[in-house]
Structure 1
Amino acid sequence: MTQAGLPTFADELALALDALEAGRVDIPVIQPAEPFLDMAGEDLRRRIFLTESETGESLCLRPEFTIPVCRAHIAESVGTPRRYSYLGKVFRQRRDGANEFFQAGVEDLGEPDEARADARAVSDARTLVSSFAPGNALTVTIGDQSVFEAVVAGLGLPAGWQKRLIHAFGNEQALNAMIARLASPDESAALDDTVAGFLAAGDASGLEKHIESVMEATGYSTHASRSPAEITARLMDKQALASTRLSPDALDALKTFLALDVPLDRAAETLAAFASSAGLDIRSAQTSFEARLDALSERGEDLSSIHWRAAFGRPLDYYTGLVFEIAAGGANLVLAGGGRYDRLMALLGAQAPIPAVGFSLWLDRIETVRAGS
Structure 2
Amino acid sequence: MPKAVQTPEEVAIRTLREKLTGELRSVFENAGCERVEPSVLQPADVFLDRSGEDIRRRLYMFTDPGGTELCLRPDLTIPTCRLFLERAGDGGEARLSYSGPVYRFQPQGSPKPNEVLQAGAELLGATDREAADAEAFALAVDGCNAAGLESFEIEMGDLSLFDALVDALDIAPGWRSRLKRQFWRPDYFKELVQRLASGNADAGGEQEGLLAALNALDEKSAKSVIEDVLKLASISPVGGRSTGEIAERLLEQAADASAAPLSPEIVKLIDDFLGLTLTPKDAAPRIRELTAKAGISIEPRLEALEKRFAAIEAKGFDLSKARFQAGFGRRLEYYTGFVFELQVPELGPEKVIAGGGRYDGLLKSLGVEQPVPAVGCAFTVERLARALKLKGETK
Q: Normalised by the shorter chain, which TM-score bucket?
A: 0.7 to 0.9
Deviations 1:33-68, CA, capped at 9 Å, x for gaps: 121111122221111100111110011111111111
1:283 aligns with 2:319: no
Residue identity matched to 2:334? Y
**Which runs of no fewer than 5 residues in structure 2 stay unpaired?**
1-13, 218-228, 235-247
TM-aligned CA deviation for residue 204 of structure 1: 5.3
Distance in structure 1 (CA, Å) of the matches to 2:78 and 2:369: 16
Aligned length: 345
Name the counterpart of 1:326. Answer: 342
Match of residue 362, structure 1, among 380, 384, 389: 380
Q: Percent identity?
A: 34
Deviations 1:207-257, CA, capped at 9 Å, x for gaps: xxxxxxxxxxxxxx9x9669xxxxxx9988634324541111111111110
1:70 aligns with 2:81: yes
1:83 aligns with 2:95: yes
What is the DSSP-based 3-state SS (H/G/I as helix, E as strand, rest coil) of the residue aligned with 2:273? helix
Quickly say closer, same or farther: Cα 1:237–1:47, change in 2 above 3 A.
closer
- Equivalent pair of 2:34/2:95 in contact (CA under 8 Å): yes
Residue identity matched to 1:185? G
TM-aligned CA deviation for residue 16 of structure 1: 2.2
Quickly say closer, same or farther: Cα 1:342–1:237, change in 2 above 3 A.
closer
Name the counterpart of 1:7. Answer: 18
Match of residue 130, structure 2, among 115, 126, 136: 115
Q: RMSD across aligned C-alpha pairs, in angstroms? A: 2.9
Name the counterpart of 2:35. Answer: 24
Distance in structure 2 (CA, Å) of the matches to 1:277 and 1:336: 37
Residue identity matched to 1:362? T
**TM-score for the superposition, normalised by structure 1:** 0.85
- Equivalent pair of 1:342/1:354 in contact (CA under 8 Å): yes
Distance in structure 2 (CA, Å) of the matches to 1:75 and 1:108: 16
Distance in structure 1 (CA, Å) of the matches to 2:34 and 2:232: 51
TM-aligned CA deviation for residue 300 of structure 1: 1.7
Match of residue 149, structure 1, among 163, 169, 172: 163
Quickly say closer, same or farther: Cα 1:245–1:363, change in 2 above 3 A.
same
1:261 aligns with 2:277: yes
What is the DSSP-based 3-state SS (H/G/I as helix, E as strand, rest coil) of the residue aligned with 2:316? coil
- Equivalent pair of 1:141/1:306 in contact (CA under 8 Å): yes
Which deviates the most, 234-243 or 24-33?
A: 234-243
**TM-score for the superposition, normalised by structure 2:** 0.80
Residue identity matched to 2:182? A
Quickly say closer, same or farther: Cα 1:321–1:235, change in 2 above 3 A.
closer
- Equivalent pair of 1:85/1:106 in contact (CA under 8 Å): yes
Residue identity matched to 2:355? G
Show the 5 A alignment for 1:332-371: 333-371=351-389
Which deviates the most, 76-85 or 30-39?
A: 76-85
